[in-house]
A and B are shown apart, each in its own frame.
Chain A
Amino acid sequence: MHRFLRLSILLTGLFAAMSSYAADNSQPALTTPDDLGPKIEQPIEFPHNRHAGLRNPNDPTNSDPANGGMEMDCQYCHTYARRSAVAGIPPLQKCIGCHQSIDTVRDKPRIQELFKYWDAKKAVPWKKVHDLPDFVRFNHERHIKRFVEQQNRPTQEACGYCHGDVKNMTVARRSKPLTMGWCASCHEKAHPVTAEGGKAVGKQAYWYSFSKPEKKSGAAEMPNEVKAQGPNDCWQCHK
C-alpha cells in the first residue's frame, strides 16, 4: 500500500515538474538582453505617449494624436503612488471623468471600448507590467516623497528611474531589470542615508556587495551608521 503510495507521489511530482517546465517554455522570457520586459497585450491599448508625452511645439491646439502629448503629470492618474506602498491602477472613474467631456475622441474605438466597461460598471482587466516577486516589498510612497517632494525632481524623471521612458510608450513595457542587484546599484551610489543622530553617512549598507562600514580602531562597537534605518536592512524590502 505504502509502496504504491510512494510511487504515485513520485510520478505525480515528476509529471508536475515536466508539465510546468513545458508550460514555462511557452511563457515569454522574463528578462531580455536589453533589459526589456515582455511585450504585453492589454485589453485597451492605452497610449501613455498621448497623455504624458511632450507637447508638439508646432501644434498649439494639440490636435494631432500621432505627434505630441499633453505633458500630464504621472501622479494625476497614478494618484496612489505618493500615498501607498503600491501604486495601484487608476479607477475607471478617473478615465471617464475627463473623457465624458472630450467629444472629439468619443467615437474612437479605444474610447468606445472604455465606455463599454463603464456602462457595464466593470473594471478593465489590465495585465501587470512591473511585477516583483512576492517576497519583495517595494514602497512607491517613499520614493516619491524623497525624489519629488524633498528633492523637487520632476515626476517623470523620478518615476522613470524604474519605469523607463513611459512618456514615449503606448502600452507600458518594462525597460529596467528590476532585480536586486539593479536596485542595489542605485542605492549604493546615490543614496546617502541619515543615520540616527543626524549624521549623514555614505557606504552605510553592508549587505550584498555593499561595503561594510569600517570599525574605528579602539572602538568597542561598530559606528552607529549601522543602525541607520535605510534600505540597508534586508528587512526593508524582504518583510
Chain B
Amino acid sequence: MSPGWGRITALARKDAAELLRNPGAIVPPLLMALGALFPGFLVIIGAPMFAGRTLEESGDFNEAVDVIATMPELVGLTGNALIQAFLFHQFALLLLMVPVVSATALATHAVIGEKQSKALEPLLATPISTVELLAAKALTPFLFALALTWGTAALYILGSLLLGEPGVWQTALGPRTFVLFVMVGPLIELATLLVSVVVSSRANDPRSAQQLTSLLILPITAVFIAQLMGAFVIPVAALLLAALGLLIMNALLLVIGVRVFQRETILTRWR
C-alpha cells in the first residue's frame, strides 16, 4: 500500500468508526432511504389494494397506455403489469434523493465534526497532503451513501419482484436502471459530497450546511414531478447527457474543493 493511500484509508476508517457512533449522522440517510422506497409501493401496490381495483381497472392510465407500451424497457408487457412497470420506472427517480441526502448528512458531519472537536490542526500537522485529506473526507461518506443507494435500489427491485405483476421486475434490469444507479447516482452523490465539503468549510454546524446542500434535491424533485405530470419516463440518452453534465460539474467542484482544502485556508479562513 502506498503511503498516501495508507493515510487516506487511515482517516477514512476513523471517519467510519466515528459515523457509526453518531446517530445524528446515520439516521437521516436511513430515513431518507425508507422515505424514497415507500411512495412507489404505496401508489403502485397499496392504493389499488385499498381501492379494490387494479391500476388498469381504474382507467387513470388509459390515455398513457398506448404511449408507454412503446417504451423499450416495457415492450412485451400489457395491462396492469405495463402500468405497474411504468410507474416503478417513474418512482425510481425518487431513489436518487438517497445519495444526495446521505452524502450531505455524512460529509457535513465528517468535516464539521473535525472543526467542532478542533481536531483539524493536529491532523494537518501530520504528513497528510491536502488532496489526501480531501479524498479521505469524501471516501467514507461516498462509500456509505453508495452502499445505501444501491441497497435501496436492490430493495426496490426485490419489492417489485415480490409485490408486482409477473414480468414487472425484469424491466428494472435494463440500461436505464444501469445508467440511473451506476452513473447518474454516484455522480450526483460525488457532486453533493463536494458541495457539502465546500459549504461545511464555511459553516459551524452540520444542520446549516445541510440546509444549503439540500437545495440539490430540487432539480431531482422537479424532474420527478415533470415525469408524473407529463406521463413520461426520462430516456436513457437524456440520463447519459445528465451524467456528462454532472461529470463536468464534479470536475469544477473538485478544483474548488482542492482550493478550499489548503492547509493555510483551513487554519485561517475556516470558521
Q: Bound pair: A and B?
A: no
Q: Which A residues contact B (CB, under 8 angstroms)?
A: none
Q: Which B residues contact A (CB, under 8 angstroms)?
A: none
